[in-house]
Amino acid sequence: MPRVKALPDVPRWAILAAHAVPLATLPSGLWRLALVAGLPVTQDAELGAMTLGTSVYVVSLSVVSELLALLTLGLVRPWGEVFPRWLPFLGGRRVNAATATGAAFAGVAGLCAIAGWGVYASSAGLGPGIPASPAQDALLIACYAPLAAWPVLLAAVAVAYHRRRRAGGGGRQYGAGRPAASSWV
């Protein structure tokens, strides 16, 4: 089995959970890209002919959500404890653990709020539905269901990060000196 790069004191379950987050967001992003490309993921002819602005929005939503999901890896990788040297103004400085944990939990709260609104809007019949065949509905559900794991996985990894950084005072702390160049890979 290939070795996943992470800090030595990170629990294996947290490493796996952090790597699962970008994988959980990928299917919905691919579904949205298929929608923009005009593939038959819906039966609505209007959705197939998106305006340029709508297409840019949908593609941007996919890219931004995947980039935010990839930030979860920072909670188990060296760049989550020491900013990479190539970052202007911050490069080489230690990451404030409280700020990183707070940002992660703000993300959890935001994801829960979005999910709650989605459930409410769907049950209240707000907004237009997406007309689809049973196969297209199954594809939509299969692509969006993994998103339910995102806030749960992020919260678990954030708790592990917080505990590890809070308890790290007695042992070897990564980033106490200058990190090796190979540690950013």
Structure tokens belonging to residue 15: 């490493």
End-to-end CA gap in the chain:
18
Cβ(80)–Cβ(161) below 8 Å:
yes
Cβ within 8 Å of residue 9, ≥6 positions away: 164, 168, 171, 172
Tell me how long the chain is. 185
pLDDT category of residue 17 using cuts at 50, 70 and 90: very high
Cα 82 to Cα 8, 89, 144, 173, 179, distances in angstroms: 15, 13, 34, 11, 8
Q: Which amino acid is at 170?
A: G
**pLDDT, tens digit, 9 for 90 and up, residues 134-166:** 888 889 889 999 999 999 999 999 999 999 988
Residue 183 above 80 pLDDT? no
